[in-house]
Structure 1
Amino acid sequence: MPWGILAPDTVVSQRRQQNLGLAAAVRHFNDRAVPGIGGMWFPMPILWSVLAISIAEELGVPALPVGNAVEARVMLEVIAGPQDRRVRGARKMQGLKDSSFHNLRRRGTYVVQPIRMAMVQPLVALGFVQGSRYGAFRIHSAGRELLELNAMKEPRRLLGAWAHGRQPHGLKEALTVLSPVGAVPEAVRKLILARLLDGNDPGSTRRRALARLGTGPSSAHLDQETALAGLAPDHWSDLRAGAAFMDLRDAALSVLDQLEQHLLKLRDDNQPVRLSEAEAAEVAAEPLKQLRDLATAKGALVDQGNEETSRRFIAEIRNLSDQQLIQRLAARDSTVIFQCEGRIVLGPAAGELRGSSETQDENRPPQDEAFAPQLFRLHNLHCLVTELSGKVNPGSRDAG
């Protein structure tokens, strides 16, 4: 994930949340592809959040700062070790001496984007909590079942004592059990796996069908009309629509990238850093053509997804002139490229590296070509199910 001029764990850059006003469509297609898992790709954060929410209930305080504190505390035990995608806060908490609950719950002590932010959807969807906002979550049936497992009782007792201001004997050992780079206890693994795959609801059905594939679907698979064995036709249609939409979004970003690079060169050459709409359409002629060709080839797939935001986006690509489309893309962006008084100019975030509005790149597993990269949850689910089955999480194999 890109960041501004401060330390990466301190502030999130304006850029590159370059979502073109399409965030609702991105969420829709990701959730139709792999329902209910948010940004989760390894299971340990479920444990941290359930423990934190239970402690927050005991203390009678909102769960959000408790969630931050618990996550920060487990990270403190491992940030001095090898680099790992599951670890956050190494820069932010470097040299931190005060590991008390009171200190770690304070705003600004831990990272701006903790892992718990990716856990809101799975905590609710898998039945571990009730509520719509992390700060107001309450333990639900699966959460109570988790806390009653023998493997969780001692960590809950010791973290509870820590939250009350004590430093109980055995806390270090409990934190080892909860380590982001450690193995989830077997009974806990089995419970989470059951909640993920064994239900009769539509979300469980889709997750279970994907898990049974073992690998895939890949981008090549999703170019085919015929569904892979075991996947329902409506699920296949949603997967294809989602991949097609993400391709179109990326092609639109390529148009803006072309304009940005041209304007940055003008700036470097001490030339006026602006383009008329006609000039911009000429500069971006090739990526514009590629965008329109892609809309012709895949627009019908996106339409079949029956999602309003994406259908409006497709209509703009199909119906607007080149100059109008440049104008519309600039209006959708306004972070890297925007329109000012009829001119196309650089936005405040121009020149920065792009990140992802969906998940932090430095903390997400490396892609595997066996899984369509347009829908990152496909590989995330594979990583999650693999670890919950007692094997090495493939997303962590390059750690260190």
Structure 2
Amino acid sequence: MSWGILAPDTVISQRRQQNLGLAAAVRHFNDRAVPGIGGMWFPIPILWSVLAVSIAEELGVPALPVGNAVEARVMLGAILGPPDRRVRGARKMQGLADSSFRNLARCGTYVVQPIRMAMVQPLVALGFVQGSRYGAFRIHTAGRRMLELPVMQEFRRLLGAWAHGGRPHGLDAAIKAFGPGGRVPDEVRKLIRARLLEGEDAGSARRRNLASLGAGPSAAQLESSTPLPGIEPDHWSDLRAGVAFMDLRDAALAVLDRLEQRLLRLRDDNQPVRLSLDEAAKEVAAPLSALRSLASRQGDRIDAGGEATSRGFLSQVRSLPDPGLLQKLAERDATVILWRGDYITLGPAAGESRGGADPDDENRPPASDAFAPQLFRLYNLRCLATELSGRVNPGSRDAAGEVQS
């Protein structure tokens, strides 16, 4: 059996990666806020990945194509059901007749951004696998414990037989039970909850303290320097720094958006699509003033976070004159707005639809005002902790329901 390298079957919008060279800081503050959960907001994808890694070990192949195939198979069993934001690939796999492992493991059969990409960090941080890359994962202690649970063994047997080319009786029913809208079996749910909230390490303590709040912290609550009850001062400082930094980044993107709008108008009017730094500074006077004001008001919070990339960016916003700051922002971007040596112009992603800046956006539940939206993991943790306690996940389409039966 031959295995290829998985690659996107469509080009991901460059706008979605308009990160101003600040991606490391974004990751840092999200991980300081809620360590170890990546983009996970509902727990059943952990099961799919543990099963996939186990099957990959048995087959002697990399785990990545197996993970894609398993996820595609459970999604295929759910795409004809009621709308649910946990279901992916309804358009891509519409009418797909060949549900064999061999076909679903092929490059391009499933979506470009599978949910399993958001599982890399939690699988490792919670002890289910070992390794730094999905393709090289191996089952670890918690993963073995999960696979040993009686409720998992029949599903593992059926998926294993399917991966070996079979069509085992009972697979479709099992796929439905373990699909994206399925109920995590109690034994598995309790195991994941213990790994998420009951450890003795610092990451578990931060997750546990946040989960104990029930709701929040909101952006308004994080304006205060006094922590909410149960949150440690250093954690509170990290949360405040993260929110302030994300706001500063978004204010800088607002400056670039204004420049883009002006340059697009020039293009539509068949005018030279360029602005000198002085012209650009006049065009963005209002959003640039708002950016500097934000740096003045919240800069101390960012400095207190002690993260080098964010502090360097803050220093530029504080100290550079308007033309120099606009040049630096254009250089940082280089996707929507470009610096051409003596003028500002449009980049290759200019004019594209304004999607989220992060490729994981489509994997997330809608935000809640009770949780600071700048740090998406706060609400994701709430969704996880709620479902792992046996109640309906508030991020799912059926969140108005009661305790799961």
For these two proteins, the number of residue pairs brought into alignment is 392
Paired amino acid for 1:200: E
The normalised TM-score by structure 2 is 0.95
SS at match of 2:345: strand
The whole-number CA distance in structure 2 between the counterparts of 1:136 and 1:361 is 26
SS at match of 1:345: strand
Q: CA deviation at 1:397?
A: 3.0
Residue equivalent to 1:36: 36
Is 1:200 equivalent to 2:190 in the alignment? no
Counterpart contact for 1:336–1:349, Cα < 8 Å: yes
Is 1:258 equivalent to 2:258 in the alignment? yes
The whole-number CA distance in structure 2 between the counterparts of 1:329 and 1:233 is 33
Counterpart contact for 1:10–1:92, Cα < 8 Å: no
SS at match of 1:29: helix
SS at match of 1:275: coil
Spell out the pairing of 1:35-74 with structure 2 (5 A cutoff).
35-74=35-74
Residue equivalent to 1:366: 366
SS at match of 1:338: strand
Residue equivalent to 1:152: 152
SS at match of 1:367: coil
Q: CA deviation at 1:314?
A: 0.4
SS at match of 1:219: coil
Report the more deviating stretch, 333-342 or 376-385.
333-342
Residue equivalent to 2:79: 79
Counterpart contact for 2:331–2:338, Cα < 8 Å: yes
Q: Kindly report the root-mean-square deviation, in angstroms, between the aligned alpha carbons of the 2 structures.
A: 1.3
SS at match of 2:380: helix
Residue equivalent to 2:226: 226
Paired amino acid for 1:248: L
The whole-number CA distance in structure 1 between the counterparts of 2:398 and 2:17 is 27
Deviations 1:161-215, CA, capped at 9 Å, x for gaps: 0000000001011101211011111111111000000000000000000000000
Q: CA deviation at 1:353?
A: 2.2
Residue equivalent to 1:285: 285
- Matched residues, percent identical? 73
Deviations 1:15-35, CA, capped at 9 Å, x for gaps: 221100000000000000000
Residue equivalent to 1:170: 170
Paired amino acid for 2:146: L
Deviations 1:330-351, CA, capped at 9 Å, x for gaps: 0000100011131111111111
Counterpart contact for 1:38–1:119, Cα < 8 Å: yes
Residue equivalent to 2:267: 267
Residue equivalent to 2:117: 117
The normalised TM-score by structure 1 is 0.96
Residue equivalent to 2:332: 332
Counterpart contact for 1:36–1:122, Cα < 8 Å: yes
Paired amino acid for 1:386: T
Q: CA deviation at 1:359?
A: 4.6
Counterpart contact for 2:84–2:397, Cα < 8 Å: no
SS at match of 2:266: helix
Spell out the pairing of 1:93-112 with structure 2 (5 A cutoff).
93-112=93-112
The whole-number CA distance in structure 2 between the counterparts of 1:211 and 1:377 is 12
Q: CA deviation at 1:9?
A: 7.8
SS at match of 1:396: coil
SS at match of 1:110: coil
Gaps of 5+ in 1: 1-7
Residue equivalent to 1:5: none
Residue equivalent to 2:15: 15
Report the more deviating stretch, 86-95 or 375-384.
86-95
Residue equivalent to 2:235: 235
The whole-number CA distance in structure 1 between the counterparts of 2:358 and 2:26 is 8
Counterpart contact for 2:275–2:343, Cα < 8 Å: yes
SS at match of 2:294: helix
Counterpart contact for 1:74–1:180, Cα < 8 Å: yes
Residue equivalent to 2:245: 245
Paired amino acid for 2:293: D
Deviations 1:328-387, CA, capped at 9 Å, x for gaps: 000000100011131111111111123334453333100100000000000000001111
SS at match of 1:264: helix
The whole-number CA distance in structure 2 between the counterparts of 1:260 and 1:359 is 21
The whole-number CA distance in structure 2 between the counterparts of 1:334 and 1:398 is 42
Paired amino acid for 2:288: L
The whole-number CA distance in structure 1 between the counterparts of 2:22 and 2:209 is 28
Deviations 1:220-252, CA, capped at 9 Å, x for gaps: 000001000000000000000000000000000
Residue equivalent to 1:307: 307
Q: CA deviation at 1:11?
A: 3.7
The whole-number CA distance in structure 2 between the counterparts of 1:359 and 1:340 is 28
- 1:9–1:186 Cα change, 3 Å: farther
Paired amino acid for 2:230: G
The whole-number CA distance in structure 2 between the counterparts of 1:148 and 1:36 is 24
SS at match of 1:16: helix
Q: Segments of 4+ in structure 1 off by > 4 A?
A: none
Is 1:185 equivalent to 2:180 in the alignment? no
Counterpart contact for 1:10–1:111, Cα < 8 Å: no
Gaps of 5+ in 2: 1-7, 400-405
Report the more deviating stretch, 318-327 or 84-93.
84-93
Q: CA deviation at 1:150?
A: 1.4
The whole-number CA distance in structure 2 between the counterparts of 1:116 and 1:247 is 29
The whole-number CA distance in structure 2 between the counterparts of 1:63 and 1:134 is 6
Is 1:211 equivalent to 2:211 in the alignment? yes
SS at match of 1:360: helix
The whole-number CA distance in structure 2 between the counterparts of 1:398 and 1:318 is 46
